[in-house]
Structure formats: C-alpha cells, structure tokens
Amino acid sequence: MLRIAPWRVALIVVTVVVGIFATVPNFFPASAVSNWPSWLPHNQIVLGLDLQGGAYLLYEVDQEDFKEQRLRTLVSDTRRTMLGTDRIGYTGLGVVGDAVQLRVRDLDRLDEVRTRLEELRNPIDASVFNQSNTFEFDLSVQDDGLVRFTFSQEGLADRLRGIVQQSIEVIERRINELGTTEPSIQRQGDDRILVEAPGLGDPERLKALVGQTAKLTFHLVERQLTVAESSQTAITPGTIRVPSADEPGVILEVEDVPLMTGEDLSDANPAFDQHGNQPVVNFRLTTSGARKFGDVTQANVGRLFAIVLDNESISAPVIREPILGGSGQISGSFTVETANDLAILLRAGALPAKLTVAEERTVGPGLGADSIAAGRMAAIIGTIAVAVYMIATYGFLGIIANLALLVNIILVFSVITLLGATLTLPGIAGIVLTVGMAVDSNVLIYERIREEFRQGRTAIMAIDIGFKRALGTILDANITTMIAAVTLFALGTGPIKGFAVTNAIGIVTTVFTAFTFTQLLIAGWVAWRRPTAIAI
C-alpha cells in the first residue's frame, strides 16, 4: 500500500502543480494579470454580489399591463376578422374590464360569427396525442348577439410562464451587452425574476435597461395634435395616440396596427449624425423588414413616419423619398450613453410584457470588502486553530496533515477559478467547513494507525493497514455529504447554491488530499526514515 506506482506519483504531483498555477492569478490585480504571457493562466475567481457589491433587483410581470396590451391587439384582430371578405355587421367593439366584447347586428349569422372568431382563441397547448387543447381565451356567443372574449385561467397562467422565460432571455442579452461579469438571472415563483449583477458601478443604469420594455413599432402618422386638441377631439377609429418625446406637448395620432416592429431589425448601433454631429442610432432591417420599409416609404412620400418606443414617439421624420436600402436612423435628444443604451435595447429585443420592480437593493463595494475581510479572518483563525490542534495531537504526522490541508485549500480555489464559479460569502463558509472536513479524514486515518500500532504491529504495517481500513469510512462520510451538497444545489437558489458548490468541490479535493496526497507524503517519509515506532 505504501509502495505507490510511479504513474500515480506523477499524476498526484501534476495535479498539485496545476492547482498551484491556476490559483496564482488570484494574488495579483486583474490589470497585471492581463499583461502576462499567453501561456500563463489568466482566470481569476469571480466574486459574488455580497463580496464585490452590485445591484439586486426583483422584477414582477405587470399582469394588468399585459392583459391591456393583449386585449387591445385582440380588438384589432376581431375588427379585421369581422370585416373580412363577407362583412358581418356589429357594434360596440371594445375592451370592457378584462374582456373584449361586441354585439352582432344580424342574429341569424351567430354560427358564422362563432366559426370566424374561433381561431382568435389562440390554442397554446396543441398536441398530436392530446386533442383537448388549452386556449388563451374563452369565447362566448349569446343568443342576443353579445360576443365576449375572456382570458382562460389555464391560458393566462401559460402565457405568464412563457413571458417570464422569454423575459429572462432578453434580460440576459441586455446585461451581457453591459459587460457585467457572472450576472445571475433566475425565476422566482410564477411571475417574478431575480436579477443580480455583481460589480456593476451604476445600478440605476441597469435598472433602466432591464426594466424598459423596449417595444419598438413603426407607424404612419394620421395627424398631429396639441394636448388641448387631443382632449377636445375624438380619436379616429383604427388609431392610437402617443406623446412625442422630441416635441413636448405634441400628441401624434398614428395607425393602431404597426407597419413594422422591432422584430424586423437585424442590428442597431450608436453613431453620430454626419450633419449635426449629434448622437443617433443607426439600424439595419432584415430582408423582409427592408422590403416592407421600402414599400411603405415608396407609397407614403410626404407623410410623417413615427418610430414609437414603449408607446412614446422618439422620432417622427417626414418621408422625403423612398428608402430602399434596408437601413435607417433614429435621431432625437440623445446623449452618447442614452444612444448606446437604446442600441443595446434594440439589439437584445423587447420584453414580452412590462416589468415592475418589486424589490431592489444596492450592495456597496465597501460592504463587500467588509464581508471579504470577515470571511478571510474566519478562515485564517479556523485554519490556524485546526493546524495547532493537529500538531499537538499527532506530532509529525499532524504536520503532514497540515501540508495536505494547505494543498486542499489551494485545490479548492483552483477548481473554483477554472470552473468560473462565483464565490459568495456562503461559499467562503463552505471553504471553512472544508478545512474541518479535511482534517477529519486525517483523524480517521491516524486513529486507525494508532490502534493498529497499539495492537503490536510494526510501524510500517500499522501505517499500511491504517490507510486501507480508513478508506471505506472516509468514502462513506464524504459520499453522504456529497449527496447533501448536490441536493442543496439542485433545490436551492442564490447563496445556497454558492455554499453547495464550494462544499462539493471541497469534498472531492478532501478525498484527494487527505488520502492520496497524505499517503504519498507518508510513504516518502517511511522510505526515508524507516521508522520502528510512531509518536502518535
């Protein structure tokens, strides 16, 4: 047992050396590491929100806003369906509470109305094997001609789940554009999203970027009104009114059905206007979007063309000539930063629904530094106390256990560094716990060796048998702890996951250092000293 094959010795030594090299960059500032030669390691441990500060935002899907927008779209779809090839007369089409309703004039055509409007119920759970589809809307057609669309309970819940998942993807793209390291974006409950961005210096900018719906639409303008005129005149059917961001006090009445949406954009980038040197946003359209844009501008030369972002016109230029190149420019009262943020929003895409801030916290870097200092002090005190105890109890073998413990800590940090895992304050607690667990394995080995030696075996035989018989106990103890760590990672969130990750890594490195590495050191000592007794 104490005769270790050369290949095993080489593997142990290479593992320890690689671990040391991987950990070294963490002792130098990032600016210095970036200038190192390419063959040297460059990865550093990523600190979590509680260690380096940053923003904590909990968003909630605004269900009322979503339902309002969805019902408004349903009104347009219903109008288009009822006024199809064979027009069916109706009156009173509009949103009433959480429903869309109208009244059919010709009661003899109710069956035809039901057939036409059935497709607007929007099946969302169609399945080849399951014929009982779930619909977004319930449709009722009464004998007196009253037709109502209402949200189905299952359909609304399904839409909310889809909104949360799509919002997570959009938010992730937006935050990645900011260059934030290791952001955490995860679902909380049925309609909430937790966003953590460690190290972000401007939480308000993150809040503005994440929370803005960024729904971009393009509309032809029917007329311009002042605020006073808007309150005194009725809205034209088939239009909506949006305020102008460029001209305060001006209201634009635009066609309610957009000619294009943000989905027709392929790219957007901040730039400067060649004439006034003002910040603008240049955009390029997809092939289909360019075709639609060309057709619209060709047929509407001389008209205003409103670019609407989140129900506010950010630009309303006059179409002076057909634009056939598939690109355009958004100008307005932009600064360099707001132009860049708008480009980020357009590239990342729109949120499917409005998000409201349910909770927000900003963790300052000073608090993170205090957490690091406290964690470092706890780790140092705990490690020194354990090291002193091992030397006092086991003498020279305690020194070997402490060397294995040092290597263990180095390997834990190296694995965290190589995996790119985020180190949090609970993660530091997991590392401190690893220190105690590591020497616990050494204690099992040493107590077994002491027991064998007291039974009259020679020192070398006692060491050999001690390692063999302690292995099963060490594996059992660490496997059960690993099961707990995996369960915490699978079911936990946030800080709990951080603790589980470092704990799991510590378990693996502990088995390696407390058994394999310690065995190598003791085998080397035995081969050198040939002890006849063990002071243990």
Concatenated DSSP letters for 284-346?
EE-HHHHHHHHHHHHH-TTSBEEEEESSSEEE--B--S---SSEEEE-SS--HHHHHHHHHHH
Nearest to 498 by CA among 25, 50, 176, 23: 50
102's enclosing H/E stretch is: strand 99-104
Q: What is the predicted pLDDT for the residue at 337?
A: 83
Whole-number average pLDDT of the chain: 83
pLDDT(161) > 60: yes
Please compute the mean of the pLDDT values over residues 496-504 and round it to a whole number. Answer: 84
Model pLDDT for residues 356-401, shown as the tens digit of each residue: 888 887 776 665 567 677 777 877 888 888 889 888 888 888 899 8
Amino acid at 456: G
Find out whether 283 and 267 touch, Cβ atoms under 8 Å: yes
Model pLDDT for residues 204-217, shown as the tens digit of each residue: 777 777 777 778 88
Q: What is the predicted pLDDT for the residue at 126?
A: 47
pTM (two decimals):
0.62
Neighbours of 424 (CB within 10 A): 28
Q: What is the largest CA-CA distance in the chain?
A: 109
247's enclosing H/E stretch is: none
CATH superfamily of 6-52+366-529: Multidrug efflux transporter AcrB transmembrane domain (1.20.1640.10)
Instruction: Give the separation between CA 426 and CA 431, rounded to whole angstroms.
Output: 9
Q: What is the predicted pLDDT for the residue at 128?
A: 41
Q: Domain residue spans in the chain? A: 6-52+366-529, 66-148, 215-335
Tell me the CA distances in angstroms from 97 to 64, 73, 156, 409, one per residue in order: 11, 15, 15, 62
Q: What is the predicted pLDDT for the residue at 121?
A: 87
Q: Phi, psi at residue 213, to the nearest 5°?
A: -65, -40
Find out whether 304 and 220 touch, Cβ atoms under 8 Å: yes
Q: Which CATH number applies to 215-335?
A: 3.30.1360.200
Q: What is the predicted pLDDT for the residue at 18?
A: 92
Instruction: Give the separation between CA 104 and CA 91, rounded to whole angstroms.
Output: 7
User: What 3-state class would DSSP assign to 54?
Assistant: strand
Q: Phi, psi at residue 107, to the nearest 5°?
A: -70, -15
Q: What is the predicted pLDDT for the residue at 65?
A: 84
Strand 279-285 and strand 327-330: the pairing is antiparallel
pLDDT(409) > 70: yes
